[in-house]
């Protein structure tokens, strides 16, 4: 097992927040906008994650907080002989831009990632691409993934890091719209020590690899417009502010984009660091 110390994420709080209220608010946030428009651009991450998890024909796969199914579709379309994956979004999402279950024989089920409606040891692989990291109770969702996984199975996650672009975006938005009091930062899932805390007691191996996804847009204004219209957290953040504060948030996001842009003045290419995690549980 290998892990390195990473700083920059807020430590888990000691006070007990109102998780039911937070969950309801999160459901409204992620249901706003149209995540499929953004999620489809992340498909390469789902493909890379499925490869890292070494998904094989005949295995049963659960995709937790599936979004627009970028991780679900990769093992199923690549391994026609595999058992159909089950996707488990945290909250209800629109189905457009994603093939339905009849096309790929995939079962979609709306459920709570912190209370999965599946039997113990019923999956060979559990995947989550930028999904389970947003659940309010980290330890609870981790326990549920471990519970439904068979002995010797694998958990594979892609989580934004606190130091990377999206982690920094969370901080910028949090400076304008305060996050729920007492809630642990989602970016903790992008740190090796937190992963070891969540899964280490049940793991025989944890592999953490830092990778980058490149956001490719015409300009910072183009990125902001797309995320303001379609990405739930950004959409809701702007909606919560008056016009002057919206302008201030837009200015701060544009400055962040410009600092991370590696394409010069011709276009926008922003590398977003994420932590690819593969956990192999005990036999």
Query: Domain with 60 in it: what CATH number?
Result: 3.40.50.150
Write down the pLDDT at residue 244.
98
What pLDDT is stored for residue 212 in this prediction? 98
Considering the domain boundaries, does residue 148 fall inside one? Answer: yes
Say if strands 149-160 and 268-281 run parallel, antiparallel, or are unpaired: antiparallel
> Please, what's the b/e burial string for 243-272 (b: 16 or more CB within 10 A of its CB; e: otherwise)?
eeebeebbebbeebbeebbeeeeeebebeb
Residue 113 located in a structural domain = yes
Q: Which two tokens stand for residue 194?
A: 């937190």
Cβ distance 63 to 128 under 8 Å? yes
Q: Specify the 3-state DSSP secondary structure of 189.
A: helix
**Contact in structure between 161 and 275 (CB atoms under 8 Å):** yes
Instruction: Report yes or no on 9 lying in a domain.
Output: no
Q: Is residue 239 part of a domain?
A: no
Q: What is the dihedral of CA 136, 188, 169, 278, to 10 degrees?
A: -100
Note whether residue 259 is domain-resident: no
Domain boundaries, position 183: 34-216+272-281
Token pair listed for 34: 């149209």
Closest CA to 130 of 97, 109, 156: 156
Query: Residue 136: inside a domain, yes or no?
Result: yes
**Tokens coding 139:** 């330890």
pLDDT at 30: 65
pLDDT in tens, the chain (283 residues): 444 333 344 444 455 777 777 677 666 666 677 888 888 899 999 999 999 999 998 899 999 987 654 555 555 444 433 343 454 444 334 333 344 444 456 788 888 899 999 999 999 999 999 999 999 999 999 999 999 999 999 999 999 999 999 999 999 999 999 887 778 899 999 999 999 999 999 999 999 999 999 999 999 999 999 999 999 889 999 999 999 999 999 999 999 999 999 999 899 999 999 999 999 999 8
Instruction: Return the pLDDT at 39.
Output: 87
- Reading the block at residue 243, the tokens are 């016009």
List the end-to-end C-alpha distance of the chain, in Å, as a whole number: 16
Q: How far apart are CA 125 and CA 107, in angstroms?
A: 15
> What per-residue confidence (pLDDT) applies to 107?
82
Name the domain count of the chain.
Answer: 1
Query: How far is the C-alpha of 178 from the C-alpha of 165, rounded, in Å?
Result: 19
Tell me whether strands 86-88 and 107-108 are parallel, antiparallel or unpaired: parallel
Residue 117, C-beta contacts closer than 8 angstroms, at least 6 positions apart: 109, 111
Distance, in Å, from the CA atom of 197 to the CA atom of 159, rounded to the nearest integer, reads 15
71 backbone dihedrals φ, ψ, rounded to 5°: -80, -35
CA 195 from chain centre, in angstroms, equals 14
Place of tokens 């892990």: 3
In a domain, 16, yes or no: no
Structure tokens at 101: 């279950």
Report if residue 191 sits inside a domain: yes
């Amino acid at each position: 097992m290998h892990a390195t110390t990473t700083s920059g994420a807020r430590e888990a709080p000691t006070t007990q927040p109102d998780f039911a209220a937070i969950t309801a608010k999160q459901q409204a946030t992620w249901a706003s906008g149209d995540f499929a428009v953004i999620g489809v651009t992340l498909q390469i991450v789902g493909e890379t994650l499925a490869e890292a998890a070494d998904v094989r024909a005949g295995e049963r796969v659960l995709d937790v907080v599936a979004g627009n199914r970028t991780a679900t579709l990769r093992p199923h379309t690549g391994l026609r002989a595999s058992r159909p994956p089950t996707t488990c979004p945290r909250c209800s999402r629109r189905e457009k831009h994603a093939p339905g279950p009849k096309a790929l024989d995939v079962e979609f089920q709306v459920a709570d990632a912190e209370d999965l409606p599946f039997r113990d040891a019923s999956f060979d692989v559990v995947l989550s691409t930028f999904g389970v990291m947003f659940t309010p109770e980290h330890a609870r969702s981790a326990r549920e993934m471990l519970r439904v996984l068979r002995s010797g199975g694998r958990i594979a996650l892609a989580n934004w890091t606190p130091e990377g672009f999206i982690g920094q975006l969370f901080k910028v938005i949090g400076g304008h719209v305060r996050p729920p009091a007492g809630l642990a930062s989602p970016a903790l899932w992008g740190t090796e020590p937190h992963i070891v805390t969540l899964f280490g007691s049940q793991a025989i191996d944890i592999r953490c690899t830092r990778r980058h996804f490149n956001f490719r847009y015409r300009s910072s204004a183009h990125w902001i417009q797309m995320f303001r219209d379609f990405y739930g957290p950004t959409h809701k953040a702007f909606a919560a502010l008056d016009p002057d504060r919206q302008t201030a948030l837009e200015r701060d996001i544009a400055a962040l984009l410009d600092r991370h842009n590696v394409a010069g003045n011709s276009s926008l290419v922003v590398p977003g660091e994420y932590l690819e995690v593969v956990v192999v549980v005990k036999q």
